[in-house]
C-alpha cells in the first residue's frame, strides 16, 4: 500500500470514529450531478497513473486520480478507446469520477454502458479495508459482481482506488449522415434501423433533424451510406457535433432552464411535457429542458416505462434521481451500511437517506 | 464423491411438504426418495445430496407463497433451471426445498421493434433465438449447453459462450429481472430503459448463483442476426506461436466473433469422434470467426488471414459455406464428449488468465502433466483467455484421483497468480468454493457475506454456495466426473 493510500485509510478510520462526512472528489467536473456534495474534501487526484496497459489484452488499469484525458490519449496512441465514450464535462475529469458517475456517451446504445466495460475495482471501504473485486480478465464469475455495482455509485460505498476496464479498437472508418424527420418518425426509424445489421454507433434528433453516426469497417460504412441515403456531414463538423453532445457544450445545453435526463424504452412515444427535447441513444435517452414541475416530468417518464433524472438545475429539492420503491430502498440502505457502516462517504449524493 | 450424505429429518420433511401442499397440488411437491433422486445433483455429478422436498410451482403466486412459507419456517431454498450447471450451483440442500423453475417455460412477449423478449426463467437459451428468428433477431450469449440450459440458470451463472468477446456475457444482454426476495416480496431489477435510478442491482443479481433473490421473468436484449459468418482455421507448429497469433489478431484491431484454440492432444481426441478435418500435425489450431454484412466479413477475413500468416500459421483454411463453417466448429463444440471417449474420467477446469500469460500457463500445465503423470488436452476460449484444460484420469484408481485434484488445484492457483481467476464462466457453486480462498482475502470474503445478508439476512437462498466461510477455507477438495459420464452427456461442453 502506498503512503498516500495508507494516509487515506487513516482518514477514513478517523472519519468513521467521528462519524464525520468525507466528500470524495477528483477534478470536480461532476459536482453538479446528483445531490449536493458535502463533507470534508478527500481529493483523489494525487493517486494517479496508469498501472497497467496491454493493448493486446484489451484491458487498462488506472488509479482513480488519473486524468480521463490522459487515459484516453494513451489508448488513442494504440488505436484503442473507451467504447462507452464517457463525458468529461471539463478538462479536470478523472478516471475515478468517471466510474463513480457511471455516465456513458453517444455510443452507449450500440456499444454498451460504462458498467458493461468495468472488469475490476480496488475499493477503500468505510472500515478502512482495501478490497479487490473482479480483476483484469474479461470472463470472471468468482464472487458477486461488486465492480459493476460501484459503477455509478457516486462514491457512496467507498473510495474507488483503481479500476480495470475493457477497451476496444477504434473503428477504421466513420461517417455522419443527416436526415429531415419529425420526432415520432425519427424514433420509429431508429428502432427499425437498430433491428438490422447496420454499423450505427450514435444517433441524435432535435428540431426535425436526425443525425446518425456510422462506424466500423470501411466497406460496411460505405454500404450503409448507400443503403440509407441522407446528407453526409463534413468530418470536422461531425466530430464537433458528437463532442458537443457528449460534453454538453452544444448550445442546446446552455441556459438556466432545468435539464432533465429521461431514460426510456427506445421506442417510447414522444414525451408530452412542455419544453425543448433532444433525443439520443436510438430513442432511449431523451433530454428535456423544462420548467415543468418535477412530479409531472417523473410521472411522464414513469408512464413511458423509464425514469427521469434532474440532471442540471439550480434547485434540486425534488431529488436528483427518481425515488425508489420500498424494497429497493431497503436494499440500498443495507448495501450502504455493509460497505460504509458509519455513513461517511458522500452522504446525500445519490439519495438523501444514503 | 458424495458431499455431505443427506440426513433428512422426516418430521421436518412432513411439515414442510404439508405446508407447501397448502397451495401446491400434490404432484408438484415431491419428497419420496425415488421422486427426488433426479434432482440430487446438477451437471457436476461428483456432489450429490437428496433434497428434503422438491417443489415444481407453475405460477408466480405459487413461487411467492413458497418463498413466504419457507421464510416463515426457516427452510433453505435452492432454485434450479435445467440442472446443466458444471459447478454444483444447483446442488440441493438435504434440509431445504429444491425450487424447480422447469414449468416456467412461456415466452411472455416479443417486441421485434424494441428488440426485446420477455421470457420466463425456464425457457431454454436456444429457444429464445429460435422463437425470434422470424424477425431476423437472436439472443447472443451461447453457452455450449444452450440447447438445454435455461435463461434463469444463465442469469444465475452469468453464462458466456464462444461469442462473448464480441457480444458479451449474460450481464451485457439482460435488461431486466422481475422476481421475489427471500421474504416473498415482489421486486424488479432494471427495465426496458437502458439504465435505472440508484445502484446497479441488476448487475449484482446476474451471476449471483441464486443467492440473492428468485427471478420469475427475464427481459433480454435481442440483436439483429449477422447476415454472414465465416471462420478461418489456422495451424501452428507450437502452442506459444498460436498464443502470440491471438494477441496479433487483437493488436491488429480485430475483434473476432469467436476465437478458439485447441492443442494437438485435443484435436486428435476430437478428430476421431467428429472428423472435422483438423490438421493433426499442428501443435495447435485456432478457429477465428468473422461475422456481419458480406462486405464486413470479406474485409475482416482478408485481414485475419494476413495477420495469422504473418504470425506464423503453417496452414490456413477458410470456410467456404455454412456447412463447412459448422464442420470446422463441430470438433471444438464436441471437445468434452470426445475426451470422455478416450479416458474413463476427466476433470474440466475453467480458469481465466490474461492472454499474454498463455504460453506460461501452457508450459506450467505441461510440467504438471509430467509431475503428476496425467495427460491434459487443452481447449481455450483464446479470445478472452478462458481455459478449459481437461485432466484425464481413472476414478477407480484413488491415487489418480488424488493426483488429479492436486494437479487442478495447482493450475487454478497459477491462474490467480498470473492475474486471472478461478472461474470464467462455470461459476463457483460448491466445486470451487475452496479456491475462492486463494483468490480473495478474508476482508473481501467478509464483504461478500455481508452483501448476501443484505438480500437474505438468514442465509436461506442457496446456502453454502459460492462464498466460503473462513472455516471452510481450511478444507480442500476436488471434483471428478463419475465414470466419464456427465448428466446430459449428449450436450457439447466447452
B146-162 pLDDT per residue, tens:
889 999 999 999 998 88
For chain A, what are the domain ranges?
3-169+330-339, 172-255+257-313
Cβ–Cβ pairs < 8 A, chains A and B = 254
- Closest by Cβ to A136, choosing from B157, B248, B419: B419
Considering the domain A3-169+330-339 in this protein, what is its CATH number? 3.30.465.10
Among residues B488, B394, B432, the alpha carbon closest in space to that of B45 is found at B488
Tell me, yes or no, whether B428 lies in a domain: yes
Q: Are B255 and B164 in a shared domain?
A: no
pLDDT reading at B477 higher than 50: no
In angstroms, the CA B202 to CA B187 distance is 11
Tell me, what's the pLDDT at A195? 94
Q: Does B185 touch chain A (CB under 8 A)?
A: yes
| Residue B80, domain CATH | 3.30.43.10
pLDDT reading at B401 higher than 90: no
Tell me, yes or no, whether B431 lies in a domain: yes
Q: Are B295 and B371 in a shared domain?
A: no
Regarding an ipTM greater than 0.95, the answer is yes
B242-257 pLDDT per residue, tens:
989 999 999 999 999 9
Element housing B460 (H / E)? none
Q: What is the mean pLDDT of residues B210-220?
A: 98
Q: Does B444 touch chain A (CB under 8 A)?
A: yes
CATH architecture, range A172-255+257-313: 2-Layer Sandwich (3.30)
In angstroms, the CA A125 to CA B448 distance is 13
Q: How many Cα neighbours within 13 Å face the side chain of B353?
A: 25
Q: Are B270 and B150 in a shared domain?
A: no
Residues of B in contact with A305 (CB under 8 A): 191-193
Each of the 354 residues of chain A gets a pLDDT tens digit; together they read 899 999 999 999 999 999 999 999 999 999 999 999 999 999 999 999 999 999 999 999 999 999 999 999 999 999 999 999 999 999 999 999 999 999 999 999 999 999 999 999 999 999 999 999 999 998 899 999 999 999 999 999 999 999 999 999 999 999 999 999 999 999 999 999 999 989 999 999 999 999 999 999 898 999 999 999 999 999 999 999 999 999 999 999 999 999 999 999 999 999 999 999 999 999 999 999 999 999 999 999 999 999 999 999 999 999 999 999 999 999 999 999 999 999 999 999 999 999
pLDDT reading at B5 higher than 80: no
More confident residue, B2 or A347: A347
Q: Does B208 touch chain A (CB under 8 A)?
A: yes
- Closest by Cβ to B114, choosing from A54, A127, A267: A267
Q: Are B204 and B91 in a shared domain?
A: no
| Residue B216, domain CATH | 3.30.465.10
**Cell of residue A142, nine digits:** 468468482
Contact A54, B246 (CB under 8 A): no
Tell me, yes or no, whether B494 lies in a domain: no
Q: Does B438 touch chain A (CB under 8 A)?
A: no
**End of a domain among B224, B259, B281?**
B224
Contact A87, A105 (CB under 8 A): yes
Tell me, what's the pLDDT at A316? 95
Chain A nearest-CA distance from B182, in A, is 12
B333-350 pLDDT per residue, tens:
888 888 888 888 888 889
Query: Percent of chain B having pLDDT more than 70?
Result: 95
Q: What is the mean pLDDT of residues B265-271?
A: 91
> Cβ atoms within 10 A of the Cβ of B398, count?
9
| Residue B324, domain CATH | 3.30.70.2190
B356/A141 touch (CB, cutoff 8 Å), yes or no: no
In angstroms, the CA A88 to CA A95 distance is 9
In angstroms, the CA B317 to CA B329 distance is 13
Domains A3-169+330-339 and A172-255+257-313 share a fold: no
Residues of B in contact with A335 (CB under 8 A): 199, 451, 454
Per-residue H/E/C for chain A: CCHHHHHHHHHHHHHHHHCCCEEEECCCCCCCCCCCCCCEEEEHHHCCCEEEEEHHHCEEEEECCCEHHHHHHHHHHCCEECCCCCCCCCCCCEHHHHHHHCCCCCCHHHHCCHHHHEEEEEEECCCCCEEEEECCCCCCCCCCCHHHHHCCCCCCCCEEEEEEEECEECCCEEEEEEEECCHHHHHHHHHHHHCCCCCEEEEEEECCEEEEEEEECHHHHHHHHHHHCCEECCHHHHHHHHHHHHHCCCHHHCCCCCEEEEECCCCCCCCCCCCEEEEEHHHCEEEEECCCCHHHHHHHHHHCCCEEEEEECCCCCCCCCCCCCHHHHHHHHHHHHHHCCCCCECCCCCCCCC
Tell me, what's the pLDDT at B180? 98
Tell me, yes or no, whether B4 lies in a domain: no
Tell me, what's the pLDDT at B474? 60
For testing contact with chain B, the best of A139, A215, A225 (most B CBs within 10 A) = A139
pLDDT confidence band for B434 (50 / 70 / 90): confident
Q: Are B219 and B312 in a shared domain?
A: no
For testing contact with chain A, the best of B203, B352, B386, B423 (most A CBs within 10 A) = B203
pLDDT reading at B123 higher than 80: yes
Tell me, yes or no, whether B57 lies in a domain: yes
Domain hosting B78: range is: 10-103
**Cell of residue B184, nine digits:** 416473498
Tell me, what's the pLDDT at B475? 54
Q: What is the mean pLDDT of residues B417-443?
A: 90
Tell me, yes or no, whether B284 lies in a domain: yes
Residues of A in contact with B227 (CB under 8 A): 197
Tell me, what's the pLDDT at B272? 86
Tell me, what's the pLDDT at B492? 47
B253/A109 touch (CB, cutoff 8 Å), yes or no: no
B255/A169 touch (CB, cutoff 8 Å), yes or no: yes
Residues of B in contact with A109 (CB under 8 A): 194
| Residue B408, domain CATH | 3.30.70.2740
pLDDT reading at B481 higher than 50: no
Residues of B in contact with A306 (CB under 8 A): 191-193
- Closest by Cβ to A197, choosing from B227, B384, B451: B227
Residues of B in contact with A141 (CB under 8 A): 157-158, 207, 421, 423-428
Tell me, what's the pLDDT at B473? 76
Tell me, what's the pLDDT at B144? 82
Q: Does B320 touch chain A (CB under 8 A)?
A: no
B280-305 pLDDT per residue, tens:
999 999 999 999 988 889 999 999 99
Q: Does B254 touch chain A (CB under 8 A)?
A: yes
pLDDT confidence band for B202 (50 / 70 / 90): very high
In angstroms, the CA B481 to CA B393 distance is 10
For testing contact with chain B, the best of A109, A111, A142 (most B CBs within 10 A) = A142
Contact A289, A207 (CB under 8 A): no
Tell me, yes or no, whether B287 lies in a domain: yes
A263/B299 touch (CB, cutoff 8 Å), yes or no: no
**Cell of residue A273, nine digits:** 411535457
pLDDT confidence band for B3 (50 / 70 / 90): very low
Q: Are B77 and B144 in a shared domain?
A: no
Q: How far is CA B60 from CA A42, A305, B87, B108, B180, in A?
A: 48, 22, 27, 13, 9
Q: What is the mean pLDDT of residues B46-75?
A: 96
β-pair type (A231-232, A173-180): antiparallel
Q: Are B401 and B374 in a shared domain?
A: yes
Q: Does B458 touch chain A (CB under 8 A)?
A: no
In angstroms, the CA A57 to CA A143 distance is 22
pLDDT reading at B486 higher than 70: no
Among residues A174, A327, A272, the alpha carbon closest in space to that of B201 is found at A327
pLDDT reading at B490 higher than 60: no
Tell me, what's the pLDDT at B176? 98
Strands (E), B148-302: 174-180, 186-190, 214-221, 223-224, 228-236, 258-263, 284-292
Q: Are B374 and B288 in a shared domain?
A: no
Tell me, what's the pLDDT at B6? 62
**What's the sign of the alpha-carbon dihedral B323, B327, B329, B334?**
positive
For testing contact with chain B, the best of A143, A156, A199, A349 (most B CBs within 10 A) = A143
Q: Does B453 touch chain A (CB under 8 A)?
A: yes
Query: What total number of domains does chain B contain?
Result: 4
- Closest by Cβ to A144, choosing from B185, B208, B250: B208
Tell me, yes or no, whether B2 lies in a domain: no
Give every strand in the sheet of A50-54, ordered side by side: A50-54, A59-63, A159-166, A118-124, A130-134
pLDDT confidence band for B362 (50 / 70 / 90): confident
Q: Does B440 touch chain A (CB under 8 A)?
A: yes
In angstroms, the CA A307 to CA B195 distance is 9
**End of a domain among B333, B354, B385?**
B333
Adjacent-strand bridge partners of A173: A216
**End of a domain among B86, B103, B120?**
B103
Amino acid at each position: 500500500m502506498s503512503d498516500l493510500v495508507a494516509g487515506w485509510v487513516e482518514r477514513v478510520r478517523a472519519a468513521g470514529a467521528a462519524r464525520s462526512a468525507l466528500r470524495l472528489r477528483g477534478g470536480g467536473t461532476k459536482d453538479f450531478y446528483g445531490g449536493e456534495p458535502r463533507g470534508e474534501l478527500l481529493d483523489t487526484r494525487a493517486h494517479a497513473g496508469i498501472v497497467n496497459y496491454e493493448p493486446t489484452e484489451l484491458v487498462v488499469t488506472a488509479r482513480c486520480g488519473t486524468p480521463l484525458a490522459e487515459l484516453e490519449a494513451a489508448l488513442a496512441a494504440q488505436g484503442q478507446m473507451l467504447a462507452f465514450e464517457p463525458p468529461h464535462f471539463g478538462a479536470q475529469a478523472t478516471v475515478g469520477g468517471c466510474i463513480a458517475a457511471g455516465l456513458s456517451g453517444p455510443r452507449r446504445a450500440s456499444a454498451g454502458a460504462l458498467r458493461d466495460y468495468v472488469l475490476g475495482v480496488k475499493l477503500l471501504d468505510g472500515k478502512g479495508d482495501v478490497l479487490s473485486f473482479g480483476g483484469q480478465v474479461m470472463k470472471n464469475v468468482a464472487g458477486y459482481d461488486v465492480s459493476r455495482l460501484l459503477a455509478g455509485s457516486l462514491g457512496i460505498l467507498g473510495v474507488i482506488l483503481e479500476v480495470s476496464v475493457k477497451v476496444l479498437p477504434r473503428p477504421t472508418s466513420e461517417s455522419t449522415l443527416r436526415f429531415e424527420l419529425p420526432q415520432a418518425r425519427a424514433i420509429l426509424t431508429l428502432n427499425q434501423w437498430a433491428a438490422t445489421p447496420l454499423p450505427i454507433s450514435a444517433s441524435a434528433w432535435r428540431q426535425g433533424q436526425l443525425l446518425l453516426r456510422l462506424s466500423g469497417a470501411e466497406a460496411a460504412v460505405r454500404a450503409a451510406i448507400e443503403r440509407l441515403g441522407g446528407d453526409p456531414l463534413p468530418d470536422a463538423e461531425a466530430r464537433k457535433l458528437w463532442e458537443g453532445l457528449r460534453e454538453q457544450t452544444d448550445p442546446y445545453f446552455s441556459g438556466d432552464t432545468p435539464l432533465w435526463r429521461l431514460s426510456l424504452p427506445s421506442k417510447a412515444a414522444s414525451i408530452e411535457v412542455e419544453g425543448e427535447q433532444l433525443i439520443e441513444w436510438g430513442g432511449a435517452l431523451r433530454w428535456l429542458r423544462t420548467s415543468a414541475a418535477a412530479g409531472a416530468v417523473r410521472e411522464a417518464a414513469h408512464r413511458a416505462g423509464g425514469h427521469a433524472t434532474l440532471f442540471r438545475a439550480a434547485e434540486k429539492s425534488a431529488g436528483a434521481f427518481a425515488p425508489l420503491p420500498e424494497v429497493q430502498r431497503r436494499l440500498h440502505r443495507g448495501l450502504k451500511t455493509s460497505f460504509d457502516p458509519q455513513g461517511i462517504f458522500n452522504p446525500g449524493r445519490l439519495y438523501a437517506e444514503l | 464423491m458424495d458431499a455431505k450424505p443427506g440426513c433428512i429429518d422426516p418430521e421436518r420433511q412432513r411439515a414442510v411438504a404439508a405446508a407447501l401442499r397448502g397451495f401446491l397440488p400434490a404432484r408438484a411437491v415431491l419428497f419420496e426418495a425415488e421422486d427426488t433422486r433426479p434432482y440430487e445433483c446438477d451437471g457436476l455429478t461428483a456432489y450429490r445430496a437428496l433434497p428434503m422436498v422438491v417443489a415444481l410451482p407453475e405460477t408466480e403466486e405459487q413461487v411467492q407463497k413458497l418463498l413466504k412459507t419457507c421464510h416463515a419456517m426457516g427452510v433453505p431454498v435452492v432454485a434450479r433451471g435445467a440442472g446443466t450447471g458444471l459447478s454444483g450451483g444447483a446442488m440441493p440442500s438435504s434440509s431445504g426445498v429444491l425450487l424447480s423453475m422447469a414449468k416456467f417455460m412461456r415466452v411472455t412477449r416479443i417486441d421485434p421493434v424494441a428488440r426485446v423478449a420477455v421470457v420466463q426463467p425456464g425457457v431454454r437459451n436456444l429457444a429464445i433465438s429460435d422463437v425470434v428468428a422470424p424477425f431476423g433477431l437472436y439472443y447472443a450469449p451461447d453457452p455450449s449447453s444452450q440447447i438445454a440450459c435455461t435463461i434463469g440458470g444463465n442469469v444465475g451463472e452469468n453464462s458466456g459462450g464462444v461469442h462473448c468477446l464480441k457480444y458479451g456475457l449474460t450481464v451485457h444482454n439482460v435488461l431486466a429481472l422481475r422476481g421475489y426476495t427471500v421474504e416473498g416480496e415482489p421486486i424488479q431489477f432494471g427495465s426496458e430503459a437502458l439504465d435505472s435510478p440508484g445502484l446497479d442491482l441488476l448487475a449484482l443479481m446476474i451471476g449471483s448463483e441464486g443467492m440473492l433473490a428468485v427471478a420469475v421473468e427475464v427481459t433480454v436484449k435481442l440483436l439483429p442476426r449477422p447476415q454472414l459468418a465465416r471462420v478461418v482455421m489456422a495451424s501452428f507448429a507450437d502452442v506459444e506461436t498460436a498464443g502470440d497469433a491471438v494477441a496479433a489478431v487483437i493488436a491488429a484491431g480485430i475483434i473476432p466473433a469467436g476465437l478458439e484454440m485447441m492443442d494437438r492432444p485435443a484435436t486428435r481426441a476430437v478428430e476421431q469422434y467428429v472428423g472435422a478435418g483438423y490438421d493433426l500435425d499442428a501443435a495447435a489450431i485456432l478457429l477465428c470467426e468473422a461475422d456481419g454484412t458480406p462486405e464486413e466479413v470479406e474485409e475482416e477475413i482478408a485481414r485475419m488471414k494476413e495477420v495469422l500468416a504473418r504470425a506464423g500459421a503453417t496452414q490456413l483454411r477458410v470456410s467456404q459455406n455454412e456447412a463447412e463453417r459448422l464442420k470446422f466448429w463441430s470438433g471444438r463444440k464436441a471437445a468434452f464428449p470426445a475426451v470422455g471417449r478416450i479416458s474413463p474420467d476427466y476433470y474440466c477446469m475453467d480458469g481465466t488468465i490474461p492472454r499474454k500469460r498463455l504460453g506460461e500457463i501452457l508450459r506450467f500445465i505441461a510440467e504438471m502433466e509430467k509431475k503428476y503423470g496425467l495427460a491434459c488436452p487443452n481447449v481455450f476460449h483464446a479470445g478472452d483467455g478462458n481455459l478449459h484444460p481437461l485432466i484425464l484420469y481413472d476414478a477407480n484408481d484413488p491415487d489418480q484421483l488424488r493426483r488429479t485434484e492436486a494437479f487442478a488445484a495447482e493450475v487454478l492457483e497459477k491462474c490467480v497468480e498470473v492475474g486471472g481467476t478461478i472461474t470464467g464462466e462455470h461459476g463457483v457453486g460448491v466445486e470451487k468454493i475452496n479456491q475462492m480462498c486463494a483468490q480473495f482475502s478474508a476482508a473481501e470474503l467478509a464483504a461478500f457475506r455481508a452483501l448476501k445478508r443484505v438480500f437474505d439476512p438468514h442465509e436461506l437462498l442457496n446456502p453454502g454456495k459460492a462464498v466460503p466461510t473462513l472455516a471452510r477455507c481450511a478444507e480442500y477438495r476436488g471434483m471428478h466426473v463419475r465414470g466419464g459420464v456427465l448428466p446430459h452427456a449428449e450436450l457439447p461442453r466447452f
